[in-house]
């Protein structure tokens, strides 16, 4: 079986996700490999779900087929040829390049221990199951449904991450159960921020993930409500990060930078809720660089983390704090 090299894995990350291409290398080498591969597996699933020329039943079939190939790779090469042909016209150049490399990505997955394989396979299976509820997500009409959708595509990734962290650092396993609900909040914070940021790009594709109509006279106020929900998730995520072992600096830095960038984005959206292009609320390279070096130096210190969280938040962001354990019980399929 072909095995994707680490260099090729990093290349694919850099083409399909600038954010994770920046943050994943902060992790210890072992985790950098696992998390990088898991992101590509999830991105392949997402590319199938995004294929506009596939009908819903075909999407469901192929997402679940991909998940099944992580249990047994029989027929992987033939299926790759088939799915590449089906998604080619609706995917961009970099996504098509990744799809063509599916056998290599899966080959690297099969090089890991059975414990790591299980975590990655479990994630893709849950994600495929959630994304397969296409008709449900086409008519999201409540915060409850937003919670469920965000879990399917990102909350489960939070569970993946904390499970991989515990596999790398066995000392974290004793607190794994209590950390899982916060991990869901970590993932949901990132997804809800992305939904708010990419609302106009999604509309061009004919999709919307929030129960807010663009011609609603109260649209800006409703957007602010979801900003508060996302910010609440971000603050709970910071508590999740601060509970991690101080010596696990790579893990802390990865989570801190990812979460802080979400807070900065929310602050920009809050200041300009009527934006029409995501470029208007994009955080600057200078801001990212400052965060990167700050957490490189002070990611071990919870007081410094609190200081930077307040600085990123500014004075106008107001959180809606909900019980993350209740949300996790409601949405999670991890156990």
CATH code, domain with 293: 1.10.600.10
Same domain membership, residue 243 and residue 172: yes
Same domain membership, residue 329 and residue 214: yes
Is 128 domain-assigned? no
Task: Give the Cα separation of 89 and 52 in Å (integer).
Answer: 9
Same domain membership, residue 140 and residue 9: no
Q: Is the pLDDT of residue 202 over 90?
A: no
Q: What is the pLDDT of residue 184?
A: 98
Same domain membership, residue 291 and residue 180: yes
Lowest mean pLDDT among 39-43, 53-57, 104-108, 146-150: 53-57
Is 124 domain-assigned? no
* The pair of three-digit structure tokens given for residue 322, joined into one six-digit string: 């909900």
What lies within 8 Å, CB to CB, of 240 at 6+ separation is: 162, 179, 182, 183, 185, 186, 255
Domain boundary among 82, 113, 144: 113
Q: Is the pLDDT of residue 313 over 90?
A: yes
Is 243 domain-assigned? yes
- Place 203 in a pLDDT band, splitting at 50, 70 and 90: confident
Same domain membership, residue 327 and residue 209: yes
Q: Is the pLDDT of residue 242 over 90?
A: yes
Domain boundary among 83, 113, 143: 113
Same domain membership, residue 155 and residue 43: no
pTM recorded for the entire structure: 0.96
Tokens 């007081």 correspond to 303
Same domain membership, residue 104 and residue 173: no
Question: Residue 237's closest CA among 290, 145, 317, 305?
Answer: 305
Q: Is the pLDDT of residue 59 over 90?
A: yes
Same domain membership, residue 85 and residue 42: yes
Residue 9 is part of which domain span? Answer: 1-113
Q: Is the pLDDT of residue 13 over 90?
A: yes
Q: Is the pLDDT of residue 214 over 80?
A: no
Is 119 domain-assigned? no
Q: What is the pLDDT of residue 41?
A: 98
Task: Give the Cα separation of 130 and 157 in Å (integer).
Answer: 12
Is 315 domain-assigned? yes
Domain count, the chain: 2
Percent of the chain predicted with pLDDT > 70: 100
**Residue 160 contacts residue 38 (beta carbons within 8 Å):** yes
- Place 292 in a pLDDT band, splitting at 50, 70 and 90: very high
Same domain membership, residue 142 and residue 195: yes
SS3 assignment, position 172: helix
Q: What is the pLDDT of residue 205?
A: 78
Same domain membership, residue 152 and residue 53: no
Same domain membership, residue 153 and residue 28: no
Tokens 């595509």 correspond to 153
Is 127 domain-assigned? no
**Residue 38 contacts residue 123 (beta carbons within 8 Å):** yes
Lowest mean pLDDT among 17-26, 66-75, 209-218, 235-244: 209-218
Same domain membership, residue 278 and residue 207: yes
């Amino acid at each position: 079986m072909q095995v994707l090299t680490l260099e090729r894995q990093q290349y694919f990350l850099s083409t399909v996700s600038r954010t994770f291409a920046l943050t994943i290398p902060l992790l210890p080498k072992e985790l950098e490999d696992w998390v990088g591969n898991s992101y590509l597996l999830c991105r392949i699933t997402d590319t199938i779900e995004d294929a506009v020329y596939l009908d819903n039943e075909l999407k469901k079939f192929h997402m679940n087929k991909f998940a099944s190939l992580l249990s047994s790779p029989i027929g992987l090469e033939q299926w790759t040829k088939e799915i590449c042909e089906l998604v080619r016209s609706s995917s961009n150049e970099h996504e098509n390049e990744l799809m063509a490399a599916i056998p290599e990505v899966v080959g690297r997955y099969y090089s890991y221990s059975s414990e790591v394989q299980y975590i990655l396979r479990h994630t893709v299976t849950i994600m495929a199951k959630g994304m397969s509820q296409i008709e449900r997500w086409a008519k999201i009409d409540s915060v409850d449904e937003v919670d469920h959708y965000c879990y399917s595509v990102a909350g489960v990734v939070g569970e993946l991450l904390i499970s991989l962290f515990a596999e790398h650092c066995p000392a974290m396993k004793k607190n794994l159960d209590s950390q899982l609900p916060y991990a869901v909040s970590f993932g949901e914070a990132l997804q809800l921020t992305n939904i708010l940021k990419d609302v106009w790009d999604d509309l061009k594709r004919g999709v919307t993930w929030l129960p807010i109509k663009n011609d609603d006279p109260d649209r800006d106020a409703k957007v602010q409500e979801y900003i508060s929900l996302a910010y609440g998730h971000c603050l709970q995520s910071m508590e999740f990060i601060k509970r991690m072992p101080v010596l696990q600096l790579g893990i802390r830095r990865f989570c801190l930078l990812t979460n802080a960038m979400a807070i900065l984005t929310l602050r920009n959206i809050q200041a300009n809720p009527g934006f029409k292009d995501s470029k208007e609320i994009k955080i600057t390279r200078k801001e990212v660089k400052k965060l990167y070096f700050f957490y490189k130096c002070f990611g071990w210190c919870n007081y410094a983390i609190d200081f930077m969280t307040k600085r990123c938040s500014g004075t106008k962001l107001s959180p809606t704090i909900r019980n993350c354990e209740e949300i996790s019980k409601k949405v999670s399929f991890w156990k």
